[in-house]
């Protein structure tokens, strides 16, 4: 097989996932990103089913897609109407897309119990809808809903529904595992038979209820399916849809089947994170290929082997999909992990060096206190620099106080932070308000540092703040772990703080975050000065 066409349904089926809601502006942003990536078909939604979808298609008419065909999605006509008289079919045409996907029932159970029409009536609804839309100059894709369940219940009738769509002019017959309960060997066998019967292109649309969405998709492709439907990050109803972020690299890198431009693969992680960001969802770090943990190595044995030859514990080069290798530091780590981190800091260490053992012991002690550096590599880098004598102190804390005041049941809380620091012996004392204690402390710290590091400080922005309970059994006296993410124009970094007091834990993470960012810029400035001197 030379190529497979990718059909993305993130904006329709993916939006049906719990907690996911895209505005029309969100949908336009994602559609443009999918088009840039090289997706062939982008299903935008069901015009007429929701105002957001209708508005999306209205605005999408002004968007010029370079690679993708925009698709409107809808059902076969209602039993009491003809396709020409059905108002929902008319709304599909009004969407103005060159491609329309129609889903129809292929399981006799649904025909009788949901549509409550005869089996022949259902076939006529499919024929009439597809033929009418084709006559209007549209490419029509037919989604055979519940096809695999329908095939197992009544093989002959399920095939009849496909035949009705094919004879009416459908360009592709998509076999849907709508309930997500089919197994790969079933999907492969049934798809192979369908491919042998029909000259029309065959597609696959798998759900992940048995955690087999990707496996079933690959099985269908092996059997001859040439269109693959799925969503970015596997978003979708119930347990989600087949994940295109896994399917695309499997097809292209492991099976040699082209489905997107070669240069797009290296932007797969970027696409995954972009959709998560627009959806306002915390990324799933454990996703294959695109998750932050996909190429992360924690065990010392693994890290040592990967340093010698990445193929020992990595099934592909992370760079092929835009991912990066991460060597994690924890009490499970070995000397290789520390040596790897030191190398990143341009510090030459050997596993046998006494500093390595001392650093691992220190990390183990910090973890016993509740620290975790897997999501806070910036804090760990500061720990390494301190342990190896490479640390440059940016400021000293003399003390802080945070006051939270509420002056009535309907009044907003007022938060004020008072802070005193010293830089090279020069003290700064500031007071600042904020929307909460962390925001107030951040504002006070920035005010205090302004006179010393104004230019560098202006580039650092706090972008995320999280709180985790370390020992929940202690109740309100439990230790908390705070994680802060900051960024500048070039990179982002995370830091961690731990304490029984949430304000102190937050301060530790905040101080590390600002200090790390300032050190980045100060070290660059020093390097630039050194180059000028050498020139």
Q: Of 139, 196, 149, give the one whose Cα is nearest residue 175.
A: 149
As a three-state string, the secondary structure of 401-438 is EEEEECCCCCCCCEEEEEEEEEECCEEEEEEEEECCHH
Order of strands across the sheet that contains 426-434: 396-405, 414-423, 426-434
Phi, psi of 290 (to 5 degrees): -110, -15
With H, G, I as helix, E, B as strand and everything else as coil, classify residue 267.
helix
Task: Check if the beta carbon of residue 341 is closer than 8 Å to that of residue 327.
Answer: yes
> How far is it, in rounded angstroms, from Cα 269 to Cα 291?
8
Count of CB atoms situated within 10 Å of the CB of 359: 25
> How far is it, in rounded angstroms, from Cα 420 to Cα 321?
46
> How far is it, in rounded angstroms, from Cα 123 to Cα 106?
9
> How far is it, in rounded angstroms, from Cα 322 to Cα 232?
15
CA angle (119, 120, 124) in 5-degree steps = 120
Task: Check if the beta carbon of residue 138 is closer than 8 Å to that of residue 148.
Answer: no
Q: State both tokens at 445.
A: 């710290």
With H, G, I as helix, E, B as strand and everything else as coil, classify residue 490.
coil
* Residue 362: active-site member: no
Helices of type H across 3-69: 24-37, 51-60
> How far is it, in rounded angstroms, from Cα 369 to Cα 382?
17
DSSP 477: G
Q: Which of 110, 146, 302, 439 is catalytic?
A: 302
* H or E segment and range at residue 462: strand 461-469
Cβ contacts of 469 within 8 Å, gap of 6 or more: 478, 479, 480, 481
Q: Of 387, 392, 391, give the one whose Cα is nearest residue 357.
A: 387
Q: Of 225, 226, 143, 141, give the one whose Cα is nearest residue 190.
A: 225
Q: Tell me the CA distances in angstroms from 299 to 305, 337, 426, one per residue in order.
A: 10, 8, 44
- Give me the active site residues, please: 302
């Amino acid at each position: 097989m030379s190529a497979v066409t990718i059909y993305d349904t993130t904006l329709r089926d993916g939006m049906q996932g719990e907690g996911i809601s895209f505005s029309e502006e969100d949908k336009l942003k994602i559609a443009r990103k999918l088009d840039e990536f090289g997706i062939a078909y982008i299903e935008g939604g069901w015009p007429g089913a929701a105002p957001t979808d209708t508005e999306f298609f209205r605005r999408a008419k002004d968007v010029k897609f370079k690679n993708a065909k925009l698709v409107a999605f809808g059902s076969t006509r209602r039993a009491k109407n003809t396709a020409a008289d059905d108002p929902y079919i008319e709304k599909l045409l009004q969407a103005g897309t060159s491609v329309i996907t129609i889903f129809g029932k292929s399981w006799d159970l649904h025909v009788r119990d949901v549509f409550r029409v005869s089996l022949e009536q259902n076939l006529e609804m499919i024929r009439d809808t597809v033929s009418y839309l084709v006559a209007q100059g549209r490419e029509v894709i037919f989604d055979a809903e519940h096809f695999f369940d329908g095939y197992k219940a009544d093989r002959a009738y399920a095939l009849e529904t496909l035949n009705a769509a094919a004879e009416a002019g459908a360009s592709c017959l998509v076999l849907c595992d709508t309930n997500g309960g089919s197994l790969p060997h079933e999907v492969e066998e049934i798809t192979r038979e369908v491919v042998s019967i029909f000259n029309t292109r065959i597609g696959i649309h798998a759900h992940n209820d048995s955690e087999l969405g990707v496996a079933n998709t690959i099985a269908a492709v092996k059997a001859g399916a040439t269109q693959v439907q799925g969503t970015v990050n596997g978003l979708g109803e119930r347990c989600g849809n087949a994940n295109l972020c896994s399917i695309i690299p499997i097809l292209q890198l492991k099976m040699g089947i082209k489905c997107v431009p070669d240069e797009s693969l290296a932007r797969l992680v970027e696409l995954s994170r972009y959709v998560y960001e627009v959806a306002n969802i915390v990324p799933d770090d454990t996703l294959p290929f695109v998750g932050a943990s996909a190429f992360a190595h924690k065990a010392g044995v693994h890290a040592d082997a990967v340093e010698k030859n990445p193929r020992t514990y990595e099934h592909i080069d992370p760079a092929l999909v835009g991912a990066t290798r991460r060597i994690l530091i924890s009490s499970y780590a070995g000397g290789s992990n520390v040596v790897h981190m030191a190398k990143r800091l341009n510090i030459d260490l050997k596993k046998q060096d006494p500093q390595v053992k001392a650093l691992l012991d220190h990390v183990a002690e910090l973890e016993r206190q509740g620290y975790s550096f897997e999501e806070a590599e910036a804090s760990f880098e500061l720990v390494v620099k301190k342990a190896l004598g490479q640390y440059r102190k940016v400021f000293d804390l003399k003390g802080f106080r945070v006051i939270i005041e509420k002056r009535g049941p309907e009044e907003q809380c007022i938060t004020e932070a008072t802070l005193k620091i010293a830089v090279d012996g020069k003290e700064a004392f500031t007071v600042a308000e904020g929307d909460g204690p962390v925001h107030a402390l951040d504002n006070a710290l920035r005010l205090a540092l302004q006179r010393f590091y104004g230019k560098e400080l202006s580039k650092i922005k706090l972008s995320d703040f999280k709180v985790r309970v370390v020992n929940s059994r202690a109740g309100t006296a439990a230790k908390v772990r705070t994680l802060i993410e900051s960024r500048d124009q070039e990179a982002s970094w995370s830091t961690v703080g731990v304490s029984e007091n949430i304000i102190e834990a937050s301060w530790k993470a905040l101080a590390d975050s600002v200090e790390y960012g300032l050190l980045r810029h100060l070290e660059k400035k020093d390097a630039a000065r050194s180059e000028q001197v050498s020139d």
